[in-house]
Amino acid sequence: MSYLKKMSSRITFIADCMLGRLSRWLRICGFDTVYYRKIDDSDLLKKAGHEGRIILTRDKALFRECQKEGLQAVFILDNHFEEQLKQIFKQLHISSFDAFTQRCLDCNTLLQRVKKSEIIDKVPRYVFTYQEQFFICPRCKKIFWAGTHLKHMKKKLDTIFGDKNESSQC
């Protein structure tokens, strides 16, 4: 595991209600990212403080509150997740990450490898035929594999970050 990979797994986030899409993309990039559709600012701050998570917010008042409380936060400037990702990576000096099939995109739980034979009736037949590696979320039981959507995501990240990130190797 490279230094940068360790770095990325140590950084954890909590995102405000406006940043659902960004949260998914941070999970795609392998980052532990907590997101609730609804959460009180005070609860969000408490959780961030307890768990040492960096707060991501588009809410100026909340950002000021973070500063007052001495909590690390990023005030997200742009509406689009591409720009949002860029901003976070730039501001936190993240230049690489270990992406994909690490975290459940829906619930943020670390995925586990699962044997092909165990998911035979749980994925579409063409997926079963053409894919070899499968992962399961131990919490919500969703199954992930390195399909075309993954290629699409990698391409997207490559266009956002150039080919610097290590994801292009996996």
What span, in angstroms and rounded, lies between the C-alpha atoms of 89 and 94? 5
**Rule CB under 5 A: is residue 104 a binding residue for Zn ion?**
yes
**Residue of 21, 80, 116, 139 that binds Zn ion (CB under 5 A):** 139
Total number of residues binding Zn ion (CB under 5 A)? 7
Give the one residue of 19, 137, 150, 157 binding Zn ion; rule: CB under 5 A: 137
Among 107, 119, 143, 146, contact with Zn ion (rule: CB under 5 A): 107
How would DSSP label each residue in 74-142?
EE---SSHHHHHHHHHHHTT------SSSB-TTT-PBPEEE-GGGGTTTS-HHHHHH---EEE-TTT--
Question: Residue 140, interface with Zn ion (CB under 5 A)?
Answer: yes
Check: CB of residue 44 under 8 Å from CB of residue 87. no
Which residue stretch of 17-25, 106-114, 116-124, 150-158 sits at the interface with Zn ion (rule: CB under 5 A)?
A: 106-114
Contact 49/71 with Cβ under 8 angstroms? yes
In the complex, the smallest distance separating the C-beta of residue 125 from Zn ion, rounded to whole angstroms, is: 23
CB of 19 to Zn ion, least distance (A): 18
Chain residues in the site for Zn ion (CB under 5 A) = 104, 106-107, 109, 137, 139-140
